[in-house]
Amino acid sequence: MSQELEIEFKNLLTPSEFEQLIAHFHVEPEAFHLQHNHYFDTKEQALRHLKSGLRIRQTPTKNEVTLKEPTNGIALTETTDSLTLDEAEAILQGTQDFPEGDVKNRLQSLHIDSKELQKIGTLSTNRAEIKYKGGLLVFDYSQYADQEDYELEYEVQDEVSGRFIFQELLQSLHVPVRPAKKKLARFMQAIQNKKE
């Protein structure tokens, strides 16, 4: 289990800007890996009403469940527990409840019964990461609900210096500022749009 503060800046990109940034930072194709974010909520959208999100993330090397909750500013508190591949698959198939751990304990403190959680969909991302000026620069190509987008993220420890570095980077590469919502918010909007 780990609990940490997530501070990140996001900017949507056009496909050509994405390619430009990959070339600028010499990101090789083999640096990218595919990850799947499977999102969960109750039928009544209890987590969404709390401006929180729950996901199981599967990558080639790990499976984990993360609960994200708002804190002050742009930061989120993330509570994460590791899962075995078998646990993750059983939860996704609806044959097993979330295991005991810090995420489940945190859900209980929010008065959310993990047995009422259901998978609402999957967002798949091809991702590469590089270290950049004390933070982590993340290149994401995501597909979800018949949509796709390209995004640059900058994960940092300090909001003030991180914001400055990220804005300076976009400006230096002539990338227009297009603030992006969190992936879960974009995913939920796309799901809503499909229903309408």
**Model pLDDT for residues 50-102, shown as the tens digit of each residue:** 999 999 999 999 999 999 999 877 788 999 999 999 999 999 999 999 999 99
Q: Which amino acid is at 183?
A: K
Q: Is 119 in contact with 92 (CB distance < 8 Å)?
A: yes
CA atoms within 13 A on the CB side of 63: 13
Q: Give the DSSP letter of residue 1.
A: -
* Amino acid 131: pLDDT: 98
H helical segments located in 31-155: 46-49, 85-92, 102-109
Provide the mean pLDDT of the chain.
94
Which long-range contacts does 157-163 make (Cβ < 8 Å, 24+ apart)? 157/7, 158/7, 159/7, 159/73, 159/74, 159/75, 161/134, 162/7, 162/9, 162/135, 163/9
Average pLDDT over residues 37-61: 95
d(CA 169, CA 162): 11
d(CA 53, CA 70): 9
Q: Tell me the pLDDT band of 137, cut-offs 50, 70 and 90.
A: very high
**pLDDT higher than threshold 90 for residue 162:** yes
Q: Which amino acid is at 39?
A: Y
- The encoded tokens of residue 89 equal 């698959």
Percent of the chain with pLDDT over 90: 84
d(CA 103, CA 109): 10
Query: What distances in angstroms separate CA 36 from CA 39, 54, 72, one per listed residue?
Result: 10, 13, 28
The more confident residue out of 13 and 193 is: 13
- How confident is the model over 17-29, as pLDDT tens digits? 999 999 999 999 9
**Residue 103, phi then psi, degrees to nearest 5:** -65, -45
* Amino acid 193: pLDDT: 83
